[in-house]
Amino acid sequence: MAQNYTLYGWHLSYFTGKALCYLRYKEVDFNLNPVNLFTLTHTIKKKTGAAVMPVLKTPQGEWVQDTSVIIDLIESQYPHHPVVPDTPVQKFASLLLEAWGDEWWVPIAMHTRWNYPENYLVFRKDAGEALLPWAPKFLQNKIAERPAKMLRSMLPHVGIVPEQYETMNSWTRSMLDSLDSHFSQHDFLLGARPSLSDFSLVGTMYGHLGRDPWPKRELIEPRKNLKAWLDRMTHPAGFAKLDLLPNDEIPTSLNPIFQSVFNEFLPLVADVGEQASAKAKEIGLNKRLPRRLGNAHTVMGGKPFQRGALPYMIWMVQRALDCFETMRTEDQVRVKAWLKSQHAEHILEMHLPRVERHALSVSVTQLPPISTSSLTT
């Protein structure tokens, strides 16, 4: 068993939920350190290049930032009960779902937190106590306003504008219904034990939808199967010895989820890719792009949806596409057959620029052969 890891993060935080549930699943010996103001804005920023959470400090003193990198590291050191499936279709699908769970759901998680004022009491208490643990309550309340102000100011850039509220609300209810229906048949997304895809989706559900009072009451608790999945994900180690679905199967109950991946999320990333390529042509290769470019467009539940273009998203999708590229030919044939059954073979032709990650942003290392993509809406 691994010894003495420290996960710096808050229960409130989207990506801390992902890392926390994952480390519990692997039964890594770790402490959750509710990161304070100094560590977040000074130490973590110095060690990783951004004031961000979560960050994992290893027993060797390394500071590892980004949940995908954290998971890759722990998987390489502790390969028992892997979270990345070892069959090609489930493996590729779980990487796509990781990108979708990490990136597509952020506007939903922020909308259901910041547009319902009753949630703020929980945020203020948790953030205040974490940032200034030894300070009196009034100072804790005051300091909590700092991240709250920063996060509220980000809302329009994430697509949270009044014209899009109804689109997000109806998409969320419909997607949560689909997930509830899936979890009435399967304990996890790909079978009887969790995979990478579950740890990504739990990011949205653990700290935000399942913990903020408004969405917990209105969205999660009425959906008993989804709620039961969230309870399993919160303490997942007991499921580690069980199996994913046999024969590399992707259950048909996930079809609505993959329709969102293929028809909503990936067209958004294709648009981000075009903007990143254009920016790289302007500033040159291997230069760090701004964290956000212009607005990227797609659809959500059949309605137009736009939000700020984050070049980081390209890196997440690149991980999935790289996984396909490095597969044996016979495995690629199986992935292509599955994509064809989803009318999504074209995603393998996404002409994304090649990127390298720098904390929360990326630099373009290579432009795509053709910079227009058939995926953009």
Q: Which residues bind ligand GSH (CB under 6 A)?
A: 13-15, 52-53, 66-68, 102, 360
CB of 275 to ligand GSH, least distance (A): 19
Look-up of token digits 């005051």: 142
Q: Looking at beta carbons only, is 15 or 188 nearer to ligand GSH?
A: 15
- The closest alpha carbon to 208, from 172, 178, 179, belongs to 172
Distance in Å, CB of 352 to ligand GSH, minimum: 17
CB of 16 to ligand GSH, least distance (A): 6
By beta carbon distance, the residue nearest ligand GSH is 67
Q: Which residue, 193 or 292, is less far from ligand GSH as judged by CB? A: 292
Helix (H) or strand (E) holding 242: none
Q: Rounded to the nearest whole angstrom, what is the least distance from the CB of residue 75 to ligand GSH in the complex?
A: 15
Question: What are the angstrom distances between the C-alpha of 157 and each of 160, 205, 292?
Answer: 7, 21, 9
- For residues 53 and 179, which CB has a smaller minimum distance to ligand GSH in the complex? 53
Shortest approach of ligand GSH to residue 54 CB, angstroms? 6
Rounded to 10 degrees, what is the CA torsion of 132, 13, 25, 211? 100
Name beta bridge partners: 345: none
- Nearest approach, Cβ of residue 328 and ligand GSH (Å): 29
Q: Which is nearer to ligand GSH, 15 or 239 (CB)?
A: 15
Those residues with Cβ within 8 angstroms of residue 329's Cβ, 6 or more apart along the chain or in another chain: none
Dihedral of CA 59/62/67/68: which sign? Answer: negative
Closest to ligand GSH by CB, 30 or 183: 30
Is the separation of the CB atoms in 236 and 21 below 8 Å? yes
Cβ proximity to ligand GSH: between 124 and 346 the closer is 124
Residues in the chain, total? 377
What is the 3-class SS of 279-347, one letter each residue? HHHHHCCCCECCCCCCEEEEEECCEEEEEECCCHHHHHHHHHHHHHHCCCHHHHHHHHHHHHHCCCHHH
How large is the angle between the packed helices 106-114 and 137-158, nearest 10 degrees? Answer: 130
Q: Which is nearer to ligand GSH, 15 or 123 (CB)?
A: 15
Whole-number minimum distance, CB 143 to ligand GSH, in Å? 16
